[in-house]
Amino acid sequence: MSIEIEKKSIQIYNSLTGRKELFQPIHKGYVGIYVCGPTVYHHLHLGNCRTFILFDFVFRYFKHLGYKVRYVRNITDVGHLNNGEDKILNKSRIEGLEPMEIVQKYTISFHYLLNIFNAIPPSIEPTATGHIIDQIDIIQELIKKDLAYEKNGSVYFDIKNYRKNHSYGIMSQNKIDKLLVQKQNFLGDKRSFQDFSLWKKAKKNHIMNWNSPWGKGFPGWHIECTTMSTKYLGEIFDIHGGGLDLKFPHHECELAQAIGAYNNNPAHYWMHTNMLIFNGKKMSKSTGNYFLLKDLISPYGCKKTFHPTIIRFFILKSHYRSILNFSNKGIMDAEKGYYRLMNAMKLLNHFSIEKKTIKNNSLNVIQWIKNCYKAINDDFNTPLLISHLFKVTHLLNSSFIHEMDTKDINLLKKYMNYFVFDILGLQIVERNILENDSKKLKILIERLIKIRTEERKKKNWILSDKIREELSNIGISLHDEKIIL
């Protein structure tokens, strides 16, 4: 099989069917991907990053193969409730800011972090608040089909009616009775426990509200993804992704909404990244079992820091469907491996091909290239890909390069650069530059804080607030004490 043919047979594990399936794009040469983006009410933690880094890898890979990729990743800026309260509204009360200030602050932080992880921005990044009218349209369609009902200004999806023609629970393999037990929540205006909100009536103090045919309110969380994915990718698109924790209820509800409104499962392949765990439990903002990336990447107030590219490497060293345990040893091992790989890349890229070379017998380069593609094509098996890269690293360190002919060296160079930089998205960082940079950055941040303290004493609030805001945007929060002059 030639390299070109090897590249084409991608197998993707489809969470909906529980099987690996051959990837066949809906439109030849094009791929549409939708990934559920963040709810912008906090700085990203490492668990969130795992999901976004994996889909950045997938995005990069399809682009590398020459597909025209439309990658849509939304921003949830309304409607994601926790114990009945909108997460963004709740945070706006805690921080004393307007909800849209919270959205702006954490969207900037999200972009900043993904940028330093070398993640390519998506092709479209739609927001829930920017698509209220479109969401209302789909809700009306569901009401028309008798799959949703209005009660006291809120609208709910009607699972009982939906089940007359479709089965509910196929995404999460949850039997309906089990769902009933799980859902010991408040029935309220709903006809049955499994029904979920499409539109919520806004209480008097709920300032994020919009006019709708049912009065002032705001959309539910699930409807935004159905709306934005189908609006930008069509009623049926190729890949839908997100973390495994979104399988139920979020993706189950999305599936029901799309089947209800359009009669279609919207995505041919549903992909879910497994959870990053910490101290034996899922890393999660709401349970408090998390740390922020600033604690890993910023030199401020931290003993040992890691460049984002090393964290990216740590994440991609394990397969996305396995649980990834964050440990000190794990990240330190990743750091060692990363530097070994980078040394090999330097050696390879600076190797002069004018040197006398003889035929290499220890590596069949063509077969090695095919094996690398085979690994990625086997449901994005990044650890296997990385183990193939280390095979070359090992050979390079044993001066094997001197025994290769120029054609093989050029091929190795070309494909190692593809795999390491274009597809895995790693970046070269010099160890001593990194350490020097960390020290300099720490001094710089301390100076900024000192300047700000002096400006506060002079009551120069504009400048001091500006410095605090800028530091907050990169994940450094300052807590002020009252100034006693």
Footprint on this chain of ligand AMP (rule: CB under 6 A): 36, 38-39, 47-48, 50-51, 242-243, 245-246, 273, 275-276, 282-284
CB 238 to Zn ion: min, Å: 16
CB 40 to ligand AMP: min, Å: 8
> One symbol per residue from 225 to 254: x for binding Zn ion (CB under 5 A), - otherwise; what is it?
x-----------------------------
CB 242 to ligand AMP: min, Å: 4
Judged by beta carbon distances under 5 to 8 A according to partner kind, the member of ligand AMP, Zn ion, none in contact with residue 32 is none
Measured CA to CA, the distance from residue 89 to residue 209 in angstroms comes to: 11
127 vs 371, which CB is nearer to ligand AMP?
127
Kindly report the number of other CB atoms within 10 A of residue 118's CB atom. Answer: 17
Strand partners, 70: 32
Sheet strands side by side (includes 324-325)? 281-282, 276-278, 324-325
The Cα angle at residue 105 between residues 109 and 475, in degrees rounded to 5: 45
Judged by beta carbon distances under 5 to 8 A according to partner kind, the member of ligand AMP, Zn ion, none in contact with residue 225 is Zn ion
**Is-contact 371 325, C-beta < 8 A?**
no
10 vs 36, which CB is nearer to Zn ion?
36
250 vs 452, which CB is nearer to ligand AMP?
250
**Is-contact 228 37, C-beta < 8 A?**
no
Measured CA to CA, the distance from residue 239 to residue 221 in angstroms comes to: 20
**Is-contact 196 222, C-beta < 8 A?**
yes
The tokens for 239 are 């890949």
CB 55 to ligand AMP: min, Å: 9
Judged by beta carbon distances under 5 to 8 A according to partner kind, the member of Zn ion, ligand AMP, none in contact with residue 223 is none
Residues in the interface with Zn ion (CB under 5 A) total 2
Judged by beta carbon distances under 5 to 8 A according to partner kind, the member of ligand AMP, Zn ion, none in contact with residue 282 is ligand AMP
Q: In which residue are the tokens 């409807």 written?
A: 223
161 vs 318, which CB is nearer to ligand AMP?
318
75 lines the binding site for Zn ion (CB under 5 A): no
Q: Which of residues 106-165 bind Zn ion (CB under 5 A)?
A: none
Task: Select the residue whose beta carbon is closest to ligand AMP and give its number.
Answer: 243
The tokens for 98 are 């307007």
Helix orientation angle between 99-116 and 461-473, rounded to the nearest 10 degrees: 50
CB 109 to ligand AMP: min, Å: 12
CB 19 to ligand AMP: min, Å: 22
54 vs 420, which CB is nearer to ligand AMP?
54
49 vs 395, which CB is nearer to ligand AMP?
49
Judged by beta carbon distances under 5 to 8 A according to partner kind, the member of Zn ion, ligand AMP, none in contact with residue 53 is none
36 vs 376, which CB is nearer to Zn ion?
36
Judged by beta carbon distances under 5 to 8 A according to partner kind, the member of Zn ion, ligand AMP, none in contact with residue 48 is ligand AMP
CB 88 to ligand AMP: min, Å: 11
Give the chain's count of helices (H) and strands (E): 17, 15
Measured CA to CA, the distance from residue 223 to residue 250 in angstroms comes to: 9
35 vs 369, which CB is nearer to Zn ion?
35
CB 222 to ligand AMP: min, Å: 12
Backbone phi, psi, residue 75, to 5° = -115, 120
CB 55 to Zn ion: min, Å: 13
CB 76 to ligand AMP: min, Å: 6
Q: Which of residues 29-68 bind Zn ion (CB under 5 A)?
A: 36
36 vs 310, which CB is nearer to ligand AMP?
36
Measured CA to CA, the distance from residue 38 to residue 106 in angstroms comes to: 9
The secondary element (H helix, E strand) that includes residue 165 is: none
What Cα–Cα distance (Å) separates residue 53 from each residue in 380, 423, 459? Answer: 13, 11, 43
CB 131 to Zn ion: min, Å: 13
CB 33 to ligand AMP: min, Å: 13
**Is-contact 256 162, C-beta < 8 A?**
yes
Q: Which of residues 209-228 bind Zn ion (CB under 5 A)?
A: 225
Residue type, 415: Y
221 vs 313, which CB is nearer to Zn ion?
221
The tokens for 330 are 């794990």
Judged by beta carbon distances under 5 to 8 A according to partner kind, the member of ligand AMP, Zn ion, none in contact with residue 284 is ligand AMP
132 vs 331, which CB is nearer to Zn ion?
132
Judged by beta carbon distances under 5 to 8 A according to partner kind, the member of Zn ion, ligand AMP, none in contact with residue 273 is ligand AMP
Residues ≥6 apart with Cβ < 8 Å to 228: 34, 72, 74, 126, 128, 131, 134
Q: Which long-range contacts (CB under 8 A, 24 or more apart) does 354-360 make?
A: 355/402, 357/402, 357/403, 357/404, 357/405, 357/406, 357/409, 358/403, 358/405, 359/403, 359/405, 360/400, 360/403, 360/404, 360/405, 360/408
Strand partners, 151: 154
240 vs 388, which CB is nearer to ligand AMP?
240
What does the binding site for Zn ion look like in residue numbers (CB under 5 A)? 36, 225
